């Protein structure tokens, strides 16, 4: 495990200039970084502990086993109801009298804006850099299985949300844990809800905040030249503060409109690069499949590819983590399970489509150095990751891969990264806030306290070097999954009841499409 962590720290050090800066004794960045690493170290080690005698982290197994069980328990719901999910998003089953309420499309895109982001750009590059193209295979598999986890948690989130007299709603794992467990007459729901909320706050501050700030800084510094991270942090914190505290909705609205456009542009650019190199598509898929089982010489062999693929997929699509369930809970529907169907599209779009695009572009671009004699990948000096042209990793590797085909694309990518980071922060500030208010009660003072803490962590995230930040981000987000999946095992029978009832009524024609 230490190897994987070392590898992450070394190979993913995209913020190399920032981290070099941080080394300077006495600098603010260095102090922030050192303090942060020492505080978070034990927590990170616990979450990523390997199975005894192996290098396989138990948490990765936890997520994959969970997703597999949900897939089997619901009889491959992600494939059986895929077409129905598309119809729901199109609004074919939406009551025209509910026009003006949150639609399935809106709930889905809001949740997607929280998940599509750096995980798809930087995370995939980290996975490929360490685990080789074979990691893509495991990433896609994890994405497909994760669809069932997402389905389970989002159905429950809508079913057990709180609806307040003023018409606002709050939902998410903490609510279904408490209400669902008490409905089943099981003890401990309240305790799980509290545990989840604590981890959700940490996840919001980690992956939903510091990792984003850190990567956004790395991108900006990569273009305008090196400067201290706290400056980016303060600027970002100021803008986020203006939105979440100052209520300047116009900034959020602009972002919400630009981000989907950026996402589409990213996929289109990827497709152009892939199609322009159509002769290499076969070889790329060959490398992906072969690498999935042999590793093609990467550090850790095929297990390394598998761990990286699973880990980055989970970090990217957050299936089983419970975060998106908070966003999906806001939809207006008489059938909670319909939101479950819609939510299963999320890992598909995020991981199976967008992450695969990134992986293919990196593989095709030739940025990963291959030994022409053996056909295996050449490792870097430390032996922890694949050597790349220009010694890049993380978001810089993705940028270089796109840049090798479309010279000006790294600039677009930089803008996209900053916007994705920003929109993910806004989404996670809401997730964290819901967990916070669950613990400390709703109210202006309580909400303001969390929002200020959130903004402070943006500065810390931008100033710290990548290693400790990425470790803490992963650990915090995965710890949410520990509690969430545990609770889902008890609650999944409630979802199956809903599924059977709905499927029956759909078949009998009781649930009909509306003629629009």
Partner 1 sequence: MTTKLVVGLDGHPTGERALTHARRLAELIGDCELVVAYVVEWSPFSFQTAEENAERHKRREEEIDTAMERVVNPAVKKVTDAGIKARGMVRHGDVSDTLIAISKDEDAEQIIVSRTSEGGFAERFFGSSTSNLVMSSPVPVTVVS
Q: Which residues bind partner 1 (CB under 8 A)?
A: 91, 94, 96, 99-107, 109-111, 113-114, 166-170, 249, 252-253, 256-257, 259-260, 326-327, 330-332, 426-427, 430-431
Smallest distance, partner 1 to C-beta of residue 264, A: 12
Q: Which is nearer to partner 1, 341 or 430 (CB)?
A: 430
Smallest distance, partner 1 to C-beta of residue 113, A: 7
Place of tokens 């940490």: 202
Q: Which is nearer to partner 1, 168 or 182 (CB)?
A: 168
Spatial separation of the C-alpha atoms in residues 6 and 123, rounded to whole Å: 16
Helices (H), 277-333: 278-294, 301-317, 323-328
Smallest distance, partner 1 to C-beta of residue 103, A: 3
Calculate Rg over the CA atoms of the chain: 22
Q: Which is nearer to partner 1, 100 or 372 (CB)?
A: 100
Please write down the HEC assignment for all residues of 89-152. HHCCCCCHHHCCCCCHHHHHHHHHHHHCCHHHHHHHHHHHHHHCCHHHHHHHHHHHHHHHHHHH
Smallest distance, partner 1 to C-beta of residue 31, A: 34
Helix axes 409-440, 229-244, angle to 10 degrees: 60
Q: Which is nearer to partner 1, 229 or 322 (CB)?
A: 322
Spatial separation of the C-alpha atoms in residues 312 and 105, rounded to whole Å: 26
Q: Which is nearer to partner 1, 329 or 397 (CB)?
A: 329
Spatial separation of the C-alpha atoms in residues 174 and 266, rounded to whole Å: 34
**DSSP-assigned letter for residue 163:** E
Q: Which is nearer to partner 1, 217 or 328 (CB)?
A: 328
SS3 state of residue 377: strand
Smallest distance, partner 1 to C-beta of residue 139, A: 26
Q: Which of 362, 384, 352 is nearest to 280 (CA)?
A: 362
Q: Which is nearer to partner 1, 89 or 274 (CB)?
A: 89
Smallest distance, partner 1 to C-beta of residue 172, A: 10
Smallest distance, partner 1 to C-beta of residue 105, A: 5
Smallest distance, partner 1 to C-beta of residue 254, A: 10
Spatial separation of the C-alpha atoms in residues 128 and 16, rounded to whole Å: 19
Spatial separation of the C-alpha atoms in residues 454 and 328, rounded to whole Å: 22
Smallest distance, partner 1 to C-beta of residue 330, A: 4
Question: In sequence order, what DSSP letters do the residues of 478-507 get, joined into one string?
Answer: HHHHHHHHHHHHHHHHHHHHHHHHHHHHHH
Q: Which of 158, 141, 124 is nearest to 64 (CA)?
A: 141
Spatial separation of the C-alpha atoms in residues 206 and 323, rounded to whole Å: 13
How far, CA to CA in Å, does 156 sit from each of 101, 175, 306, 348?
20, 9, 30, 20
Q: Which is nearer to partner 1, 409 or 430 (CB)?
A: 430
Smallest distance, partner 1 to C-beta of residue 262, A: 12
Q: Which is nearer to partner 1, 257 or 444 (CB)?
A: 257
Q: Which is nearer to partner 1, 27 or 437 (CB)?
A: 437
Q: What angle do CA 412, 415, 420 make, to 5 degrees?
A: 120
Q: Which of 331, 329, 323, 344 is nearest to 151 (CA)?
A: 344
């Amino acid at each position: 495990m230490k190897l994987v962590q070392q590898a992450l720290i070394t190979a993913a050090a995209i913020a190399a200039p920032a981290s070099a800066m941080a080394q300077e004794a006495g600098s603010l960045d260095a102090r922030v970084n050192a303090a942060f690493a020492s505080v978070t170290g034990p927590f990170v080690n616990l979450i990523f502990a390997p199975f005894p005698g192996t290098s396989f982290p138990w948490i990765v197994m936890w997520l994959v086993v969970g997703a597999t069980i949900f897939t089997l328990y619901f009889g491959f719901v992600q494939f059986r109801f895929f077409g129905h999910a598309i119809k729901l998003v199109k609004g074919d089953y939406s009551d025209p009298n509910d026009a003006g309420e949150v639609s399935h499309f809106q709930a889905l895109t809001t949740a997607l804006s929280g998940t599509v982001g750096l995980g798809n750009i930087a995370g995939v590059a980290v996975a490929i850099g360490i685990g080789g193209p074979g990691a893509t295979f495991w990433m896609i598999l994890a994405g497909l299985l994760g669809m069932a986890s997402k389905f389970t948690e989002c159905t429950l989130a809508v079913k057990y949300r709180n609806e307040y007299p003023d018409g606002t709603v709050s939902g998410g794992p903490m609510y279904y844990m408490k209400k669902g467990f008490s409905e089943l007459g099981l003890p401990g729901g309240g305790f799980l809800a509290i545990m989840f909320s604590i981890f959700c706050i940490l996840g919001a501050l980690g992956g939903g905040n510091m990792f984003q700030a850190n990567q956004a800084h790395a991108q900006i510094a990569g273009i305008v030249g090196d400067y201290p991270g706290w400056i980016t942090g303060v600027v970002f914190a100021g803008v986020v503060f203006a939105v979440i505290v100052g209520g300047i909705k116009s900034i959020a609205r602009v972002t919400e409109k630009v981000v989907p456009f950026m996402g589409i542009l990213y996929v289109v650019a990827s497709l152009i690069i892939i199609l322009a190199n159509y002769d290499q598509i076969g070889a790329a898929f060959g490398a992906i499949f072969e690498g999935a089982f042999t590793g093609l010489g990467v550090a850790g062999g095929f297990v390394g590819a598998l761990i990286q693929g699973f880990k980055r997929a989970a970090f990217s699509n957050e299936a089983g983590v419970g975060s998106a369930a908070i966003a999906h809970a806001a939809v207006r529907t008489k059938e909670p399970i319909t939101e479950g169907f819609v939510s299963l599209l999320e890992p598909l779009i995020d991981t199976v489509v967008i992450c695969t695009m990134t992986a293919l572009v990196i593989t095709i671009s030739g940025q990963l150095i291959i030994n022409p004699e053996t056909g295996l990948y050449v490792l870097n000096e430390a032996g922890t990751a694949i050597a790349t042209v220009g010694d890049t990793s993380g978001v810089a590797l993705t940028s270089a891969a796109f840049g090798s085909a479309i010279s000006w694309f790294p600039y677009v990518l930089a803008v996209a990264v900053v916007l994705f980071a920003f929109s993910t922060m806004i989404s996670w500030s809401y997730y964290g806030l819901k967990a916070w208010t669950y613990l400390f009660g709703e109210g202006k003072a309580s909400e303001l306290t969390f929002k200020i803490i959130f903004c402070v962590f943006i500065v810390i995230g931008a100033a710290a070097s990548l290693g400790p930040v990425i470790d803490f981000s992963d650990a915090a987000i995965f710890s949410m999954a520990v509690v969430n999946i545990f609770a889902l095992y008890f609650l999944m029978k409630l979802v199956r009841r809903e599924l059977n009832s709905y499927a029956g009524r759909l078949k009998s024609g009781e649930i009909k499409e509306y003629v629009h």
